[in-house]
């Protein structure tokens, strides 16, 4: 079914009550908003549970669903919405791209025409990666990513390895990947780097699955 972006909500500000690598729940005015997020936004929110948080919102409305995506910076939201202007790129794929690469990495791939590296994202393919580069090169180069100021401080959260494995596999399955294949990819990554953080595990796994 056709989907369209709605700019009714600019941002949601309230208490961060729940957080995992793919979703944040912010309670504002007695309402708990379940907000889909990217890994960079997750990284910025870690350690801020039960504190005030602010996410810039992009609403995706279809006939059968209403999805809310949240970003810790306006720039990340802008890139997300730019990606969705490319034929064949929906909200789920745009989020996956922004979880596999940081905003600066993605801009560099677009600027240098590196479709091969971008195509490593599951389900993207070389042709779609090339289309992203052609459609967004001029727009991406105009984005000001300098500093990328965030609304929230980074926490010192350092989960135990087993917690990293469980959370990473859970996030990957929520993104639509097979649990068994996700587990094998995560185990391989953790074997090579036992101290790696969960967001880095997910980012590497997205390029392997």
CA atoms within 13 A on the CB side of 106: 27
Residue ranges and CATH numbers for the domains of the chain are: 4-71 (2.40.50.140), 75-142 (1.10.150.20), 161-206 (1.10.8.10)
Tell me how far apart the alpha carbons of residues 12 and 23 are, in angstroms, rounded to a whole number.
Answer: 14
Residue-level pLDDT at 144: 61
Asked if residue 124 has pLDDT above 80, the reply is yes
Question: How far apart are the C-alpha atoms of 120 and 115, rounded to whole Å?
Answer: 9
| Average predicted confidence (pLDDT) for the chain | 83
- The H-assigned helical ranges of 37-124 are 39-45, 74-83, 91-100, 103-112, 115-118
Lowest pLDDT segment from 6-15, 127-136, 174-183, 186-195: 174-183
């Amino acid at each position: 079914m056709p989907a369209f972006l709605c700019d009714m909500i600019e941002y949601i500000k309230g208490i961060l009550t729940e957080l995992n690598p793919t979703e944040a729940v912010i309670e504002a005015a007695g309402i708990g908003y379940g907000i889909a997020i990217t890994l960079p936004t997750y990284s910025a929110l870690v350690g801020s549970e039960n504190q005030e948080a602010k996410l810039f919102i992009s609403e995706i409305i279809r006939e059968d669903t209403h999805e809310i995506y949240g970003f810790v910076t306006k720039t990340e939201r802008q890139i997300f919405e730019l990606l969705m202007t490319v034929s064949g790129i929906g909200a789920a794929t745009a989020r996956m791209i922004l979880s596999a690469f940081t905003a600066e990495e993605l801009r560099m791939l677009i600027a240098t025409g590196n479709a091969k590296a971008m195509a490593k994202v599951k389900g993207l393919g070389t042709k779609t990666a090339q289309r992203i580069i052609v459609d967004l090169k001029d727009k991406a180069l105009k984005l000001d990513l300098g500093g990328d100021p965030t609304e929230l401080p980074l926490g010192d959260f350092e989960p135990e390895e087993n917690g990293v494995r469980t959370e990473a596999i859970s996030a990957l399955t929520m993104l639509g990947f097979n649990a068994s294949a996700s587990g094998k990819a995560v185990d391989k990554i953790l074997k090579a780097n036992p101290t790696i953080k969960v967001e880095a595990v997910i980012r590497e796994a997205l390029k392997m699955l």
